[in-house]
Each structure stands twice: as structure tokens, then as C-alpha cells.
Amino acid sequence: MMRRRGPGLVGMAARTAVVAGTATAVSGRVSRRQANRYAEQDAQYVQQQTAAATQGAYSAPEPEDETAQIQKLAQLHDSGALSDEEFAAAKAKILGI
């Protein structure tokens, strides 16, 4: 008569694969959430800076400042944090168009 000792090597490997897969899925979800939060914060910052620049006495920023702002907007747009319309509107505000 043969005694069963436990799930065996195949069972343990399968259980380990399930646990690892679940951990990977959770980790990916957390990473996506954090990326979305940072993108939203960046978008809000750009909107605040754009709004502040257009209020009151407005002096034209240095071309380097405009370039840096537009590059940041482009990064936000590329990451999906800004839609095409939001990107175009923010860029127009920076350029004074």
C-alpha cells in the first residue's frame, strides 16, 4: 500500500506559479495606479501654472521657459494624461495664441 505524502512536486510548482502570477498582476495594477496619479498631478500642475501665467500682468516668458513647458506638456500628452484637445489648448496658452 502506497502512502500519500502531500501534493508533490508538480502540485507545489503549480501553487507557486499561481501565487507568483497573482503577485505580478497586483504589482502591475499598483504601478499603473501610481503612474496615473502622478500624471494627474502633473496635469493639474501644468493647468495651475498656465492659469497663473495668464492672469494679471503678463510678461512674455523667456523662449527657454516656453520650450520647457511645451516639452513637459508633450510628455504628459505622450503618457496619455492629456488628450489632444487639452494639449493643444495648453500649448496655445503658453504661446499666447
Tell me the per-residue pLDDT of 39-65, one tens digit each, with 9 for 90 and over: 888 888 888 887 777 775 455 555 568
Cα separation of 67 and 9, whole Å? Answer: 60
> How many distinct structural domains can be found in the chain?
1
Contact call for residues 72 and 42 (beta carbons, < 8 A): yes
Average of pLDDT values for 21-26? Answer: 72
For residue 45, how far is the Cα from the chain centroid?
Answer: 14
Answer whether residue 1 is part of any domain. Answer: no
Query: Which H or E element spans position 57?
Result: none
Contact call for residues 53 and 70 (beta carbons, < 8 A): no
- Domain around 88: 8-52+62-95
- Lowest-pLDDT range of 9-18, 30-39, 53-62, 66-75: 53-62
